[in-house]
Structure 1
Amino acid sequence: MTTTAAPPVTAVSFEQVTKSFGDVRAVDSLTLDLHPGETVALLGPNGAGKSSTLDLLLGLRHADSGTVRVFGTSPREAITAGRVGAMLQSGGLMGEVTVRELVRLACDLHPRPYRADDVLAAAGLTQLAGRKVDKLSGGQEQRVRFALATAGANDLIVLDEPTTGMDVTVRQAFWATMREQADQGRTVLFATHYLEEADAIADRVLVLHRGRLLADGTAAEIKAKAGARRVAFDLAELDAGLAEQLRALPFLTAVDVSGHTVRLQSTDADATVHALYGLGLYPRNLEVAGLGLEQAFVAITEAEEAKKEAGTC
């Protein structure tokens, strides 16, 4: 007797979703699935469509075409059922109340609430519970937003630039809490400009550019997709003429000369290094390594821009 495996549970599904604002297509035929227990980073330059994508996911805007589903229902139905928590950049906080009062209100309104004291402790707000919200610093306000997003047993947590304004210690504690949420089977989706966070935290990285999904994979897969490696070395003598010779080395995609230090990006590092020695140079502290996530992100988006420019010529 044969059995058919059950299809994987989908937390979020975008199917050919498009959203435009006037002549600007903020989300362009976006298709993707997110699954329970995943921690997913959403990356992209300004104007890539990250915030518009999150707005569609949270039911704050409606797609022009395509379908958005959250746990098999519409975003609004999932939110009403208490399955989604969100921490957004936009929107103010009630000022003339204490932190404890605001968090308690969020817990009281949640269909599956946690104890207010537990939420305050998880967000590192116990010592600030009696303070008025309008007397908080920017980083402390971010912790309050986090508390409001996790006031109950959400199955999906959506975070838009969550650690902006937080110091290093608080950021580390924040991500430790998010890891615990994912370990309990919850899906965590966060947009960030801190690419080192995406590299260290995310199981999966999505790269958006002009509303399109350019890359989807682990951080290591995104780095490999960039198709380049980093070559760095020092030279005892480095004048303008030699710098021009270095820029003419084969297979380069980027060159940075700073003092006596040279940093290159090459799509064929072996050939580049071979040509380097062919110039009669003796580089010191030579390093050849894969790109970091930030470098890979820049390489992928710049390549897309180059393709678009070539298509318009």
Structure 2
Amino acid sequence: MTAVIELKQVNKAYGGKKAVDNVTLTIEKGSVVALLGPNGAGKTTTVSMILGLQQPTSGTVKLLGQDPRDMQVRQRIGAMLQEVSVVDGLKVGETIELFRSYYERPLPLERLLKIANLTQEKDKMAVSLSGGQQRRLGFALALAGDPDILFLDEPTVGMDVTSRQLFWETVRAMAVGGRTIVLTTHYLEEADSIADRIIVVNQGKVAADGTPSQIKAETTGRIISFTAGAALTTEILQAIPGVTGVEWNGGRVKLTSLDTDRLIAELIRRQLPMRDIEIQSGGLEEAFRMLVETKGAVS
């Protein structure tokens, strides 16, 4: 895999406080990466350094193998930031045309309007758009230069359900086409469904890095649920090695464990009365909460 973003021992300090603390990570071409963290965790500062908007106090940041401030690099990236500032007096189509003029090989205007679902708003004044429409305009502006790498900062805030669904379908198609996408979002269900890799930042450090399934399984453990026979009791189940929790719901029981493979083998070996067995991970929201509450995050 080709690395398109590389951070090596990156630190960013404001006065005596470190916003980013010795972060090293690599992001490969064609991946969809969700950068998650609580407010003030350092994720926005990290993205700003990757974009070349801020410089690290120490360490190195490479974007497409070069300095993020290089003009040729800027031609190949797009960014949809939280705040979209539109130019007074310009229509939607004119605003997109202005941004297209900044790039050597821009996408056609009509395609950008279609991608952002703004074809009907082409001749409207940009300042008159609703909040959700302005977010979609920001998406069109980020795509104006047909970027290889796309940064999305809280992209669906203000969008309705239909617009969100269309937006993520478009992003998925772009990822399949080989674009690298880095996003931040507070909607964890979106990160869970769209990202093939999640990086959790806490207190300026990388607290977790892996696929959504890995993050959930390693943090919250996994759950084995089944319909229990009459002979099974909480005491019997708690005594089985590897069981970290037992929860009943009528005749159905949930067992939590950090190693469900070993536990299911043990349950079968003991020939316990059970049927309709299911194995699943905990939710990303629970995993995220546990990670950001952990004091000893490591980079």
- Normalised by the length of structure 1, the TM-score is 0.77
For 2:101, give the aligned amino acid.
Answer: D
Confirm or deny that 1:176 pairs with 2:173. no
Where does 1:141-180 land on structure 2 (aligned, <5 Å)? Answer: 141-180=134-173
What is the aligned counterpart of 2:286 among 285, 292, 295?
A: 295
For 1:127, give the aligned amino acid.
Answer: Q
- The SS at the match of 1:176 is helix
Partner of 1:238: none
Where does 1:274-293 land on structure 2 (aligned, <5 Å)? Answer: 289-293=280-284
Q: Distance in 2 between matches of 1:81 and 1:287?
A: 48
What is the aligned counterpart of 1:137 among 116, 125, 130?
A: 130
Q: Distance in 2 between matches of 1:81 and 1:189?
A: 15
- Do the aligned partners of 1:226 and 1:299 also contact (CA within 8 Å) in 2? yes
Partner of 1:102: 95
- Do the aligned partners of 2:68 and 2:74 also contact (CA within 8 Å) in 1? no
Gaps of 5+ in 2: 227-242, 248-252, 268-276
Deviation for aligned residue 1:265: 6.8
Confirm or deny that 1:24 pairs with 2:17. yes
Partner of 1:209: 202
Partner of 2:78: 85
- Do the aligned partners of 1:20 and 1:27 also contact (CA within 8 Å) in 2? yes
- The SS at the match of 1:143 is helix
Gaps of 5+ in 1: 1-7, 234-249, 257-261, 275-285, 309-313
CA RMSD, 1 decimal: 3.3
For 1:9, give the aligned amino acid.
Answer: T
What is the aligned counterpart of 1:123 among 93, 116, 127?
A: 116
Partner of 1:277: none
Where does 1:4-19 land on structure 2 (aligned, <5 Å)? Answer: 8-19=1-12
Q: Distance in 2 between matches of 1:78 and 1:52?
A: 21
Partner of 1:283: none
Deviation for aligned residue 1:227: 4.4
Q: Distance in 2 between matches of 1:287 and 1:10?
A: 38
- The SS at the match of 1:226 is helix
Deviation for aligned residue 1:96: 2.2
- Do the aligned partners of 1:251 and 1:268 also contact (CA within 8 Å) in 2? no
Where does 1:240-279 land on structure 2 (aligned, <5 Å)? Answer: 251=244
For 1:187, give the aligned amino acid.
Answer: T
Partner of 1:3: none
Deviation for aligned residue 1:78: 5.5
Deviation for aligned residue 1:23: 3.0
Deviation for aligned residue 1:119: 0.6
Partner of 1:5: none
Q: Distance in 1 between matches of 2:104 and 2:160?
A: 32
Alignment coverage as a number of residue pairs: 278
Deviation for aligned residue 1:29: 0.8
- The SS at the match of 2:59 is strand
Alignment CA distance shift 1:35-1:289 (3 Å): closer
Where does 1:209-248 land on structure 2 (aligned, <5 Å)? Answer: 209-229=202-222
Deviation for aligned residue 1:228: 2.7
Deviation for aligned residue 1:268: 8.1
Task: Give identity over the alignment, percent.
Answer: 44
For 1:111, give the aligned amino acid.
Answer: E
- Do the aligned partners of 2:66 and 2:73 also contact (CA within 8 Å) in 1? no
Partner of 1:43: 36
For 1:295, give the aligned amino acid.
Answer: E
- Do the aligned partners of 2:84 and 2:135 also contact (CA within 8 Å) in 1? no
- Do the aligned partners of 1:16 and 1:31 also contact (CA within 8 Å) in 2? yes
Q: Distance in 2 between matches of 1:129 and 1:50?
A: 34
